[in-house]
């Protein structure tokens, strides 16, 4: 388990700063412009969007640009499906890709599991939110020293430390205490109880001015279709 959890978050802890006197930075935008479609922003090279392609439907007086892409952010869709979004709304999805409550939920679940460990006598909690092993050793300090030792050993061997490498740098007594804590924190019953106490958010990444346009899988492009196959299917849909 990572270090000690100090304080439970009750919200997103967002801070509102005054814009008065804030510096203004200006940068040149580089849209792709053509006499047919006007400004056409291609997001295929943006890692936040991933694999995608753009379809332009042009008429005498206007043009519609649609980006086909895989789900962006938090959705109920399979990763391999294709979604069609008006290109102008792709920035909405990118800006809203992360659930603002996810970190708070994760931290609260972690502290809930530690409270269970306290009740089981595997650790004790100090007044300032630190956790101590039954031996009285500060868990955070012990784990920090072990991680530093693992990092130094890996550096000497010109490698990167494995995720659990720090456990080998605990003393025998601390290893016993830490193994008991880790075993308890990862128990299915303990994890399930923390999820019940702090359920998943209902947040979904949506587009539109009101963030109310859900991403939907394209009904005629099968999940897992390659970009080339998806492009061919869209061409057949449009041209018969």
* Residues of the chain with confidence (pLDDT) below 70: 1-45
Is the Cα dihedral 91, 95, 96, 97 positive or negative? positive
Tell me, letter by letter, the H, E, C secondary structure of 167-198. HHHCCHHHHHHHHHHHHHHCCHHHHHHHHHHC
pLDDT at 41: 57
pTM above 0.85, yes or no: no
With contact defined as beta carbons under 8 Å apart, do 114 and 131 qualify? yes
Q: How far is Cα 216 from Cα 223, in angstroms, rounded to an integer?
A: 12
User: How much is the pLDDT for 218?
Assistant: 94
**Do the beta carbons of residue 92 and residue 71 sit within 8 Å?**
no
Residue 45 has what pLDDT? 67
For residue 8, the model assigns a pLDDT of: 57
Rounded alpha-carbon distances, angstroms, from residue 200 to 103, 110, 229: 11, 14, 35
Q: What does the pLDDT read at residue 39?
A: 45
What pLDDT shows up at residue 20? 44
- Which residue ranges make up each domain of the chain? 32-98+203-239, 102-197
What does the pLDDT read at residue 44?
61
């Amino acid at each position: 388990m990572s270090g000690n959890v100090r304080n439970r978050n009750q919200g997103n802890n967002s801070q509102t700063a005054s814009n008065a006197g804030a510096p203004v930075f200006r940068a040149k935008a580089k849209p792709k412009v053509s006499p047919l479609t006007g400004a056409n922003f291609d997001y295929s090279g943006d890692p936040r969007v991933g694999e995608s392609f753009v379809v332009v439907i042009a008429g005498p007086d206007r043009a519609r640009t649609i980006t086909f892409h895989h789900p962006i952010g938090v959705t109920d869709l399979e990763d391999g499906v294709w979604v069609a979004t008006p290109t102008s709304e792709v920035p909405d999805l990118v800006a809203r890709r992360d659930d603002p409550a996810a970190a708070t939920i994760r931290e609260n679940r972690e502290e809930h599991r530690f409270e269970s460990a306290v009740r089981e006598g595997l650790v004790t909690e100090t007044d300032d939110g630190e956790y101590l092993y039954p031996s009285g050793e500060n868990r955070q300090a012990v784990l920090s020293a072990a991680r530093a030792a693992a990092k130094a050993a890996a550096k000497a061997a010109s490698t990167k430390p494995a995720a659990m490498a720090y456990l080998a740098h605990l003393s025998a007594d601390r290893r016993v205490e830490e193994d008991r804590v880790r075993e308890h924190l990862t128990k299915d019953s303990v994890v399930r109880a923390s999820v019940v106490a702090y359920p998943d958010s209902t947040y979904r990444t949506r587009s539109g001015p009101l963030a109310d346009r859900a991403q939907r899988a394209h009904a005629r492009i099968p999940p897992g279709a390659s970009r080339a196959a998806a492009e061919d299917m869209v061409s057949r849909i449009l041209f018969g």
